[in-house]
Amino acid sequence: MLYIDCFSGVSGDMLIGALIDLGADVSAIKKILLDINGVESVRASKINKGGITASKFTSSYTPDSLRLDDLIGHVDDLKISQDAKELSRNILKTLGVAESKVHNVNLNEVHLHDAVDCIVDAVAVSLALEDLNLINEKICSSEVSCGFIAPATRSIIDDHGIHVRIKSEKEITTPTGVAILANITDKFEDETKFRQHKKKFSGRTGYGAGDMDLSHPNVLKMVM
């Protein structure tokens, strides 16, 4: 079982970083990601965020705007397991549905901006979960700390019943972050209930670094 503590928000990069910090094979993940058209580089490094050592995941890519069907096609072309493909597709579909609602267009007309980044995040999370034998395991999340909430983020939060709390004025939670949570999380618990259930966990901890410098560490915590 995996517990995700989103006390400082959630993004795709933060989730990937935390999974790598838990021990996911970054070399194997990087090899697959570099097969995605438009991806130029992938890197994971240890950094300090507000006194916490965390893994920072970054990728560089050629910016592109693609239709959802094209994104799904890119996933289908990858040499990864069916479980990883299914989770990746579902994450992208969740993003596509949110954008279709926000812009009031049919799903087949949706173009995702930063499309390559969306694929990278969806596939990397799927591969990391699989590598840690967590892709079909129960995953629990805390309430998600938010600040400014973008329309697509709000749509996903509302559609999937994601529990949130306001903690900042900045956009510390992204559409991709909540799209991933929507597809991997079985339930949401507060910190008190998590402590009550702590005996279920081995205590192995990973931190994924965010991009912001806040009054508190901009990291996402995972306990396995």
pLDDT in tens, 81-99: 999 999 999 999 999 999 9
Does pLDDT of 183 surpass 60?
yes
Who has greater pLDDT, 105 or 113? 105
Does pLDDT of 14 surpass 90?
yes
Q: How far is CA 42 from CA 11, 78, 127, 200, in A?
A: 17, 16, 14, 34
Q: Which two three-digit tokens encode residue 220? A: 């996402």
Average pLDDT, the chain: 93
3-state helix, strand, coil in the chain (%, to 5): 45, 25, 30
Does pLDDT of 110 surpass 80?
yes
What is the distance between the alpha carbons of residues 20 and 29, in angstroms, rounded to a whole number? 10
Tell me, what's the pLDDT at 198?
Answer: 57
Beta carbons of 168 and 214 less than 8 angstroms apart: yes
| pLDDT band, very low/low/confident/very high, at 63 (cuts 50, 70, 90) | confident
Which of 162, 160, 167, 169 has the alpha carbon at shortest distance from 145?
167
What is the distance between the alpha carbons of residues 44 and 160, in angstroms, rounded to a whole number? 30
Among 28-37, 104-113, 171-180, 188-197, the range scoring the smallest mean pLDDT is 188-197
Beta carbons of 6 and 143 less than 8 angstroms apart: yes
Q: Taking the CA of residue 23 as centre, how many other CA atoms within 13 Å lie in the half-sphere pointing to its CB?
A: 8
How many CB atoms are closer than 10 A to CB 105? 12
For 127-164, how does the pLDDT look when each residue is reduced to its tens digit (9 = 90+)?
Answer: 999 999 999 898 999 999 999 999 999 999 999 999 99
The DSSP code sequence of 116-147 is HHHHHHHHHHHHHHHHTT-TTS-EEE-PEEES
